[in-house]
């Protein structure tokens, strides 16, 4: 609620990019900065964010790399997202909160679309059915050299990668290329250099949402 008693709209931000680029680290810093600007912030993640979606997350991230066929995997992601949107994201936005999700639809488009036999339109159709096509107000894509990202992720995980992380580095480069392609066509999607110290990356991210902070 603003001082004049008018309820301000909630904003929906998503942070995307390959494994190890610094998404989780930066989301904490972004949330701090947005809270300092006077807003309530909810941090969430995909797949997951609600009890039902976290249960689906276990199915998606556990087991062998070949556990699910691409179509099954895309449907599981869309089902998890539906629960997450209806039960957490939409209610928070309706209450005027800012929601920051660690991955969202564009990860499905980058990972499950393209090479896996499903088109971008197929993934968007699943999103329309599952989540009424809800799109973020802004999507921040962190980009880092693949080797550097793998180094960051492996020092964090001490060698314990999940099903999707354990796919090869060529796959990670394809994912990054997919995000670049989306950003060329959709103005809500911004590419952000994830190299350098954490605080420098945070200020790059804040400059990509400064318009939203001022208008709110």
Ligand X SMILES: Nc1ncnc2c1ncn2[C@@H]1O[C@H](COP(=O)(O)OP(=O)(O)O)[C@@H](O)[C@H]1O
Residues interacting with Mg ion, by CB under 5 A? Answer: 23-24
Q: Which stretch binds ligand X (CB under 6 A): 3-11, 12-20, 121-129, 185-193?
A: 12-20
- 98 burial (CB, 10 Å; 0-12 / 13-18 / 19+) is buried
Contact of 82 with 132, CB cutoff 8 Å: no
Q: What phi and psi, each to the nearest 5 degrees, are found at residue 102? A: -80, 100
Chain residue whose CB lies nearest Mg ion = 24
Alpha-carbon span 54 to 213, nearest angstrom: 30
Q: What gap in Å lies between CA 135 and CA 205, rounded to an integer?
A: 19
24 is an interface residue for ligand X by CB under 6 A: yes
In this chain, which of 69, 156, 177, 184 binds ligand X, going by CB under 6 A? 156
197 binds, among ligand X, Mg ion, none (CB under 5 to 8 A by kind): ligand X
DSSP 88-127: IIHHHHHTT-EEEEES-HHHHHHHTBGGGSB-HHHHHHHH
5 touching ligand X, by CB under 6 A:
no
Closer residue to ligand X in complex, CB, 22/47: 22
Q: Which of 10, 11, 12, 19 binds ligand X (CB under 6 A)?
A: 19
**x/- contact string, 196-215, with ligand X (CB under 6 A)?**
-xx--x--------------
Which residues contact ligand X (rule: CB under 6 A)? Answer: 17, 19-25, 152-153, 155-156, 197-198, 201
């Amino acid at each position: 609620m603003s001082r004049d008693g008018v309820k301000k709209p909630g904003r929906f931000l998503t942070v995307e990019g390959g494994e190890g680029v610094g998404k989780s680290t930066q989301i904490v810093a972004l949330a701090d900065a947005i809270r300092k600007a006077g807003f309530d912030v909810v941090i969430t993640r995909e797949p997951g964010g609600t009890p039902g979606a976290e249960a689906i997350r276990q199915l998606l991230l556990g087991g062998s790399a070949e556990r699910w066929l691409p179509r099954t995997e895309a449907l599981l992601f869309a089902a998890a997202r539906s629960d997450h949107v209806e039960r957490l994201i939409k209610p928070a936005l309706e209450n005027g909160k800012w929601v920051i999700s660690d991955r969202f639809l564009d990860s499905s488009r980058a990972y499950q679309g393209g090479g896996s036999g499903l088109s971008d339109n197929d993934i968007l159709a699943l999103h329309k059915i599952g989540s009424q096509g809800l799109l973020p107000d802004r999507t921040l894509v962190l980009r880092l050299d693949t080797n550097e990202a793998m180094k960051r992720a492996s020092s964090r995980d001490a060698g314990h990668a999940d099903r999707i992380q354990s796919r090869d580095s060529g796959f990670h480069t394809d994912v990054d290329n997919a995000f670049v392609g989306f950003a060329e066509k959709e103005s809500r999607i911004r590419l952000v250099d994830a190299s350098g110290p954490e605080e420098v990356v945070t200020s790059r991210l804040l400059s990509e949402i400064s318009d939203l902070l001022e208008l709110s």
